[in-house]
Amino acid sequence: MTIKVAAIQMCSGVDPEKNVAAMARLVREAAGRGAVYVQTPEMTGAIQKDRNGLMAILRDEQNDIVVKAASVLARELKIHLHVGSTAIALDDGKIANRGFLFGPAGEKICSYDKIHMFDVDLDNGESWRESSVYRPGADARVVDLPFAKLGFAICYDVRFPALFRAEAVAGAQILTVPAAFTRQTGEAHWEILLRARAIENGAFLVAAAQAGKHEDGRETFGHSMIIDPWGRVLASAGGTGEAVVMAELDLSAVKAARDKVPNLKNARDFTLDILPVLAKGGVTV
> Looking at 11, 42, 167, 219, which residue is catalytic?
42
Q: Tell me, rounded to whole angstroms, the distance of Cα 104 from its chain centroid.
A: 21
Strand 80-89 with 37-39, pairing: parallel
Annotation says 114 is catalytic: yes
CA distance 111 to 100: 4
> Looking at 114, 130, 149, 219, which residue is catalytic?
114
From the CB of residue 210, how many other CB atoms can be counted at a distance below 10 Å?
28
Q: Half-sphere exposure of residue 152, counting CA atoms within 13 Å on the CB side?
A: 28
Annotation says 219 is catalytic: no
> Looking at 11, 149, 155, 167, which residue is catalytic?
155
Of 169, 214, 223, 215, give the one whose Cα is nearest residue 195.
Answer: 223
Print the SS3 string covering 101-147.
EECCCCCEEEEEECCCCCEEECCCCCEEEHHHCECCCCCCCEEECCC
Cβ–Cβ < 8 Å for 186, 220: yes
Catalytic positions: 42, 114, 155
